[in-house]
Structure 1
């Protein structure tokens, strides 16, 4: 079983450190439990399906393999829900592909409107791009 609360041994410098038992709030660590991502992901997608109304947009979930992590459902729902909502809001037509990789990484690929290099620099200046596992 993989843990979302443990930091991998070697992270590239462009990633933020994942929360671990020394940095996560105690109540979050206490609330963490084994969670089947392969069962939760379809629910999150269904909860956001209504956001595609009026758009020629499909949410496509790749076939899932069993995948368990140690975390709280609320953290996963908030993080994945936010990314999925952003993908839907920034796409008018086409497919949003969602897949769960064997290492518990959730990948969301959307056609989007795109973002100019100037806008990207404005939004990411001084920010850290996070990829928690």
Structure 2
């Protein structure tokens, strides 16, 4: 059995995908990336990750529509989801976690750890305080 948490990272910025993939891998996560919400939805349905992190503004399907589609699917409805955006005055949908893209990797790692181990029946990251 593989206890490595599986994270789906959805963002159209290749540089950020690389930075956050490396950060997540340092935390011991297995990472799959998607460049837009449509690709992210397909991967989420196929892989059933332990955590999904999505940007808001993306081509083909934005992050808000992706969130709606994920929450409408019984298999993914309870998957932890972090909306990660540089939008200055963004208001996340009720019940969703919003994390501002400000380059604070420690806060990013902390929120990932909370999302993966915050009382859910999923994997946790013991190495992150």
- The structure whose RCO (Cα within 8 Å, separation 6+) is larger is 1
Question: Shared topology, TM-score over 0.5?
Answer: no
TM-score (norm 2): 0.24
- TM normalised by structure 1 equals 0.24
